[in-house]
Structure 1
Amino acid sequence: MDDALLRTLTPSVLGILVRRGADFAAAEDAVQDALVEAVRVWPHEAPRDPRGWLVTVAWRKFLDAARADTSRRRRVMRVEAEPVPGPGEAVDDTLQLYFLCAHPSLTSASAVALTLRAVGGLTTRQIAQAYLVPEATMAQRITRAKRTVSSVRFERPGDVATVLRVLYLIFNEGYSGDVDLAGEAIRLTRRLAAMTDHEEAAGLLALMLLHHARRPARTASDGRLVPLAEQDRGLWNTRLIAEGVDVLQTALARDRLGEFQAQAAVAALHADARRVEETDWVQIVEWYDELVRLTGNPVVRLNRAVALGEADGPRAGLAALAEIDPALPRHSAAAAYLHERDGEPVAAARLYAEAARSAPSLPERDHLTRQAARLNAQLRG
């Protein structure tokens, strides 16, 4: 049984059912039933046309369920009267399915869950494990999301930018349970980039590839977080870096700069440095300037302040940081780093401890606590 093939075919089959007239919730249920049937039948009798087989079985499942619902008899009569395209019909509605699962009427959490289920082909159990919530909770979330978008038709144009934000949220979850969400996000973004000429789809794919290339060096064997400056760059995946840079250069050549392309350019400059001392901080600051212009995002301004501290010295970085709201997450951590570089270990130790108390994750909290302890030990010595 080829699980990867089933997951690849899922959005295409679902799209065909919706275009034939099934509402999204009923179509998704029918496709899941067909996938269960495929798992039972295919190991003993593999079909010549896997997608056609799934379309045929899913369509029958949908009609069976619709016939059983007396309130939908008229609708069944209508869809049965329509000419039914052959199983191998050429129209691929996968792109519209991306748009539907990232519909503006959905919350971010619901859009993520529905995308992983309908486009990614993951089971509810896998998604629940990845997000560390009970399966029943995730099932309710997905069911509500399906009901919300059931009345939305494929004819309406979708928003690629919204889809990209959903995929970026998935990527940033990383890994948990038996599903590598970062890898799944890359797979889905790669497919989206192949279906649309949107330059920011390519920009996001490049960004994901470049960040994912550093994953083997991001944590130590004991689970400790390893900062970028301390990572063993020999562990970085050079194949992913080369692909990410190539995708980025192609996107940038179109001269329609967007947020994800600019972020990917920063990541590419880090990846290009064989040693941390060779990092081109001046160019990185210039890209952060572009990001500030594009987004006005305070987190971008905070990252720019740190980069400026590397390019022009820690006092320049601290001056830029002073213009940013100190309540911003990781503000204290950035200030601690810049104060330490400026030769102020007392202030840095205090700020590292303060940052640890509000750290968003356990590995980050432990790292900041160790930084504070290291400086306090030096001060006592």
Structure 2
Amino acid sequence: MTHVEPLHVLRRRTSEKWTAYPEDVLPMFVAEMDFPLAPSIQTALAQAVASSDTGYVNPHDNGAADAFAAFAHDRWGWAPSSDSIRYTTDVSVVIVESLRRLIAPGDGVIVTPPVYPPFFDLIPEAGGVVVEVPLTDDGESYTLDLAGIDRALAAGARSVLLCNPHNPTGTVHSRESLAELSRIVERHGASVVSDEIHAPLVHRGTDFTPYLTVSEEARAHGIAAESGSKAFNLAGLKTALFVAGSDRMTDLLRLLPDEVTFRTGLFGLIATREGFAAGRDWLDSTVASIEDNFRMLDQQLADHLPGARLRRPQATYLAWLDLSALGLGDDPAGWILKNAKVALMSGLAFGAEGAGYARMNLACAPETITEAIHRITNAIAS
């Protein structure tokens, strides 16, 4: 298991998670891990600092691309070519720069709320218009509304911004669903940008399917956004990967401005390479700790907040909590922050479907979870 440093040590960090709120607030909102970096990454970064290796990236250095491709082959049976991979700062840039080349200004881009809040801003940044096709929710699980996506494409939308694994629900879309999506998109002559940033964090017993592996159609019209930033807690180091699966999409990536690549962080490139190449044992241990934390949260809710509902995700360290039965309004995270001093992510940020929900970060010590539920329970009781 991967263990977390004490709270007083964590508070020495200067990232958003630890500086956005006063010290009396327990931060469980933004998707940053409390776990220490993988030893291989720590060593590589320390060596870079010792060597004053702090310059620009070499855009032709395939080390991180090769490491990701080997990881994808071993974990998911996918072997993307390093020649079809390009670097940039983060997945948001992959999304924006891909869409800029796949759509015309004013084209509709489909999102599937409740979904990662920046999607609603990234699409206009790329020149598109957000088209919402919410996930289908049968009360037990979430799935893509393929018929709704078909209708939206028939009505003029030109691309789908896919989130797989899905943030915030933790849904891992099935191969069958993704294959059918690829056929629908191809029939309409549209495209897919697949955000797969949480893919390395799939829980044990669940198979992740990269979008570009499901069909020739998917490879023809899709670009995947990949990164080690969530799996290895590298968001501040700024590295992500464009991945193509066809000659057409590879040619499109070759037309990216050089500056898209040169803005990549060298430390991010080093850490990404080491994470995918030598951090796999650490990752497995971390996922096991996350799974234990979900079991703990389940029990804590059953014992102390039986009105709250958690559907166990198939991936990620993010718990999508249905708190609508607690009587805290459409934005329970706001009430909890004010009254319990626990910072969660507001469900409303993920779309209208998030009313009554909040997202809780479980990449933390078990004691943090018990303290959070204790604070929330006491606040409601009082």
TM range, normalised to the smaller chain? Answer: under 0.3
Larger Rg computed on CA atoms = 1
More helix by share: 1
Whose strand fraction is larger, Structure 1's or Structure 2's?
Answer: 2
**What is the TM-score when the length of structure 1 is the normalising length?**
0.23
Q: Which has the higher contact order (CA 8 A, sep 6+)?
A: 2
